[in-house]
Amino acid sequence: MSLDRWIGLCRPGFEGDLAAELATVLAEEGVGGYARTEAGEGLVEWVAYGLSARELLALRSLPALQDLVFCRQLSLAGPQLTALDPADRASGIVSAAPWPAAEVLVESPAGPAYAGLERLAKRLPGPIRGALEDAGKLAGPQDRKLRLHVTLASGTSAWVGYAPAALSLAEPGGVRRLRRLAGAPSRSGVKLQEAFLHFLSPTERHLAFAGRPTAVDLGAAPGGWTFVLRSLGAEVLAVDNGALDPSLAEDPLVIHVKGDAFTYEPPRTVDWLVCDVVDKPARVVETLARWLRRRWAMRAIFNLKLPMKQRHAAVMDARERFFRILGPRAEEYTFAVKQLYHDREEVTCYAAPRGGDH
């Protein structure tokens, strides 16, 4: 079976944004094709014209594809397999898998049309591994590069594809479900927890919080993000006119500043700036970029609430504003944007000095 399409999974309702992103990235590579998707499915099938599977997998922009803002998971697959035998789905799946793989991930899109497939997805990896082994397609430890992705469309149909194991997420559907920390004053702290997991490697996380870093939390109340920063050992200036949760108000390493997020100036440079203010994306991104340009903060994590339409365009606009405001310092910074699992009508941004702190 020829692998000629990408299967991208996303938050239901964001299919158009993911399709637009894929088209943008692939157009830069000169890859033609078309997207097939239906609103609310949580899936985009992007069919490429005239390139071999190896060429598609080796595209220079593949890491960019994996980093797509609205994409939770991306695999290179063949046309959908239908009429899988419910008594032996694994054989049908493996016979459609052209290459060996070291790992197997079975997942399903998040849209309601695919509800109820999670249980089957949990049961299938064992039989598929067995069938891969029988067929001589289980890669040994020396070749752990590819992960087999089986994306279930129903109990009897699926896409069979691959992604580089280093680039795709090991969690089915690219979904990192996190629990709120015990005692946290609000649920929204999980967004910051997920951001640290997504944007920083384990080593970077360790180094970033090894001492007692300082942080500013703009729009902090009631304190979910401040609570996460405190749990990592940071000292926090929490800026909000609203009240903080009493547990934080009594914490000597949290200073509550009653002030405006857009005009507040820190007493000294801080290691981290975080911001969860609900306001226009342009206003938020410009404020955060100014902090970095003035060296008031070393790194920033912030959320942008998206408009109802043209969300891909809104993200591109934010990226352009970020670098424009940084001006001569733009080269020094990386700017990554992702719609994380715990984000709703929003995306999370991470801005940091290139190659570590300056």
Ligand X SMILES: C[S@@+](CC[C@H](N)C(=O)[O-])C[C@H]1O[C@@H](n2cnc3c(N)ncnc32)[C@H](O)[C@@H]1O
**List of residues contacting ligand X (CB under 6 A):** 186, 188-189, 219-225, 239-242, 260-262, 276-278
- End-to-end CA gap in the chain: 49
Secondary structure letter of residue 307 according to DSSP: P
333 phi and psi angles, rounded to 5 deg: -115, 150
CB of 277 to ligand X, least distance (A): 4
Q: Whose Cβ is closer to ligand X: residue 3's or residue 220's?
A: 220
- Residue linked to tokens 């992705």: 149
List residues bridging with 84 in a β-sheet.
none
CA distance 271 to 300: 9
Q: Whose Cβ is closer to ligand X: residue 33's or residue 223's?
A: 223
C-alpha pair distances (Å), 244 with each of 171, 172, 229, 234 = 34, 36, 14, 17
Residue 83, SS3? coil
CB of 186 to ligand X, least distance (A): 4
- Which residue, among 57, 51, 124, 52, has the nearest Cα to 91 in the 3D structure? 124
- CB under 8 Å, gap of 24 or more: what pairs does 254-258 form? 254/223, 254/226, 254/230, 256/220
Across the beta sheet with 214-218, the strand order is 254-257, 235-239, 214-218, 270-275, 297-305, 346-353, 333-338
Residue whose CB is nearest to ligand X in the complex, by number: 224
Cβ(355)–Cβ(207) below 8 Å: no
Please name the residues in contact with 210: beta carbons below 8 A apart, sequence gap of 6 or more.
none
CB of 227 to ligand X, least distance (A): 7
CB of 228 to ligand X, least distance (A): 8
Cβ(303)–Cβ(189) below 8 Å: no
CB of 323 to ligand X, least distance (A): 24
Q: Whose Cβ is closer to ligand X: residue 33's or residue 222's?
A: 222
Element (H, E) at 129: helix 125-134
Secondary structure letter of residue 141 according to DSSP: T
CB of 236 to ligand X, least distance (A): 12
Residue 101, SS3? strand
CA distance 255 to 259: 12
- Residue linked to tokens 């997998």: 57
CA distance 213 to 272: 8
CB of 151 to ligand X, least distance (A): 33
Q: Mark whether 305 is an active-site residue.
A: yes
The single residue of 122, 191, 305, 338 carrying the catalytic annotation is 305
User: Which sequence positions are flagged as catalytic?
Assistant: 305
